[in-house]
Amino acid sequence: MTNNTYHNQTASATAHIKTECPDCYEKRSKSVCKSCGGNGIARFYYNAIKSADNLVTKEKRRRHLKEFANYLGLNYLQELATFFRIKGTDEDFVYLEERIIDFVVKELREKRRSANKTQAGYLSNLQRSYELNRDTARRIPWDIIRTEHLRHPVGLKSCEYNPYEHSKLKILYDNSNLQYKAILAVLVSGMRIGGLYENITFENRRKYPDRLHFLKIKDLKLSTAGFTSDDMRDFGLALPGYTDVYRMIIYADQVNAKTGRSEQYPCYCTPEAFSLINQMLAKRQREGELDAIDKKYRDLECWGYA
Type of residue at 46: Y
Half-sphere exposure of 56 (CA within 13 A, CB side): 6
The pTM of this model reads 0.68
Type of residue at 173: Y
**Residues belonging to the chain:** 306
3-class SS of residue 167: helix
Instruction: Tell me which range, 106-115, 207-216, 277-286, is most confidently predicted by mean pLDDT.
Output: 106-115
Half-sphere exposure of 137 (CA within 13 A, CB side): 3
Give the separation between CA 204 and CA 120, rounded to whole angstroms: 26
Instruction: Check pLDDT > 50 for residue 305.
Output: no
Give the separation between CA 245 and CA 227, rounded to whole angstroms: 14
Burial track 45-58 (b if 16+ CB lie within 10 A, e otherwise)? bbbbbeebeebeeb
C-beta separation of 49 from 61 below 8 A: yes
pLDDT at 301 (0 to 100): 43
pLDDT at 5 (0 to 100): 55
Give the separation between CA 24 and CA 66, rounded to whole angstroms: 19
Burial track 232-260 (b if 16+ CB lie within 10 A, e otherwise)? eeeeeeeeeeeeebbbbbbbbebeeeeee
Instruction: Check pLDDT > 50 for residue 256.
Output: yes
pLDDT at 299 (0 to 100): 45
Range 276-303 average pLDDT: 67
CA max distance for the chain: 80
Query: How many CB atoms within 10 Å of residue 119?
Result: 23
Segment (H or E) for 222: strand 220-222
Pairs from 160-164 (Cβ < 8 Å, separation ≥ 24): 160/1, 160/2, 160/113, 161/2, 162/2
Share of the chain above pLDDT 70, in %: 82
**What confidence tens digit (pLDDT) does each residue in 2-18 have?**
555 555 566 677 888 98
Give the separation between CA 25 and CA 130, rounded to whole angstroms: 23
β partners of residue 249: 266
